[in-house]
Amino acid sequence: MPEASTAKGRATRARIVEGAAEVLREQGVAFTTLDDIRDRTRTSKSQLFHYFPGGKDELLLAVAEFEAGRVLEDQQPHLDCLDSWESWYRWRDAVVERYELQNDQCPLGSLFLQVGRSEPGARAIVAELMRQWQERIADGIRTLRARELIPASVDVDRSAAALLAGVQGGVSIMMSTGSSAHLKAALDTGIEQLRSAKAVAERS
Amino acid sequence: MPEASTAKGRATRARIVEGAAEVLREQGVAFTTLDDIRDRTRTSKSQLFHYFPGGKDELLLAVAEFEAGRVLEDQQPHLDCLDSWESWYRWRDAVVERYELQNDQCPLGSLFLQVGRSEPGARAIVAELMRQWQERIADGIRTLRARELIPASVDVDRSAAALLAGVQGGVSIMMSTGSSAHLKAALDTGIEQLRSAKAVAERS
DNA sequence: CCAGGACTGGACTTGCCGGTCCACTTTCAT
DNA sequence: ATGAAAGTGGACCGGCAAGTCCAGTCCTGG
């Protein structure tokens, strides 16, 4: 993978990835051709193959990486300070809003399915995103525990895993139904479970 | 959509759908051609188009319907009697086992992404499956409430929605990571939340 | 037994789309 | 300034897979 060595080249490469991401979100991987991407990014076939010698697969992989980065970036500010119940609800709102905006397109999900089997790289990208995301949530839960908002008995990693699963499921259900009800339900019950953990612990 | 009018015809149609489902699970929609399906089902192009005049899309839709049916069928016995904590854990085990077996293939997910945008029918199938599935879970929760294992204050529909979201997310994460940890975490914390609801209610 | 429709086989067409090629222009180091 | 390397444009190729066609064969009812 020959990295572009001039400023112009790097700009073109970036333009391709971002433009491709747009088109892919709009049309879905299955219905997007290199020509669509070429049109959108005002480039030519040779440029596409110049920057991505591995062809479409390599380009899709780059887009997947790009999109994966954005997922966390968008939540960064909220994920960074999950230290009070209010902050957890702010995060909740941010997640819901983010996915409501890009109504029924989960760029990563579809990208993964397209490249998935052939490229182990795609799996790695998604797996790594999940790992980081979950770690951030776990950090937030640990903060709560440090502040004694929840008891020490809470299984941090399992709670984080469950919460993440709820978000993923909420999003994927939203894609077929168009409604964010499940996403909200998952987030709300997940947070409430944490909040109620103290009560449960104290009673026993 | 001319339904086959002879026994032989119906058998062939069924063979096509079931065989196509197999191939699709094995290779993924993106990498499956009509010829693959033709080979597997020992049929010919003309038969494929005879039974599915709408071409590949129509066939994929039929497969989606078939797969959707199986999802609920497989859980039917457990979903039907969610009346004790033990039964909930049996259901949990059944779900985990089911998805661990078909390791990294969510037939519906990928089918949806392929046909999705073009055919509103695909959305409808998935949405309907979700609706029914959630309703079954909600029924189970209502049973618990009727037996006073959980307090009346529990929001049945929201809890069911959250649980379903957790399952969906757990499955989709499993597809990229290969691990069922998230699915288990989501199911376990979901059920535990129900169990602890009584404690929380009594304390307040 | 014999029409007529249901069903089957597979060769053929068609168009799309990933990928290649090469001629050309721009950039930049010396 | 100049030539090599980087970057760009777009015509072209070739294969693949969806979809068509028609010539059959097999049921079924009368």
Identify which has the larger pLDDT, A36 or A177: A36
Residues of A in contact with B189 (CB under 8 A): 158-159, 162, 190, 193
Q: Which range of residues forms the domain containing residue B188?
A: 64-203
Is there a domain that residue B59 lies in? Answer: no
Nearest to B156 by CA among B126, B136, B182: B136
**Phi and psi of A84, rounded to 5°?**
-145, 165
The model's pLDDT over B132-155, given as tens digits with 9 standing for 90+, comes to: 999 999 999 999 999 999 999 999
pLDDT of A1:
43
CB B17 within 8 A of CB B52: no
Domain co-membership, B18 together with B98 = no
Q: Of A75, A175, A49, A56, whose CA–CA distance to A135 is shortest?
A: A75
CATH number, domain at A97?
1.10.357.10
Under 8 Å between Cβ of A104 and A42: no
pLDDT of residue A4: 62
B 23-42 residues with CB below 8 A of A? 27-31
Q: How many folded domains does chain B comprise? A: 2
The answer to whether residues B46 and B70 belong to one domain is no
pLDDT tens profile A82-135? 999 999 999 999 999 999 988 667 778 777 766 666 677 888 999 999 999 999
Q: Please give the span between the terminal C-alpha atoms of chain A, in angstroms, as a whole number.
A: 59
CA–CA gap between residue B194 and residue B189 (Å, rounded): 9
Q: How many CB atoms lie within 10 A of CB A92?
A: 19
Distance B86 CA to C23 C1' (A): 74
A49 and A74, same domain (yes or no): no
Q: Is residue B194, in this structure, part of any structural domain at all?
A: yes
Q: Do A200 and B199 touch (CB under 8 A)?
A: yes
On whether both B152 and B83 belong to a single domain, the answer is: yes
Q: What is the CATH number of the domain that holds B49?
A: 1.10.10
Scanning every strand, the nucleotide with its C1' closest to A50's CA turns out to be D7
Q: Quote the CA–CA distance of A110 and B40 in Å, as a whole number.
A: 26
pLDDT tens string A12-57 = 999 999 999 999 999 888 899 999 999 999 999 999 999 999 999 9
Enter the DSSP assignment of A150.
Answer: S
- How many Å apart are B44 CA and D24 C1'? 14
B58 within domain boundaries: no
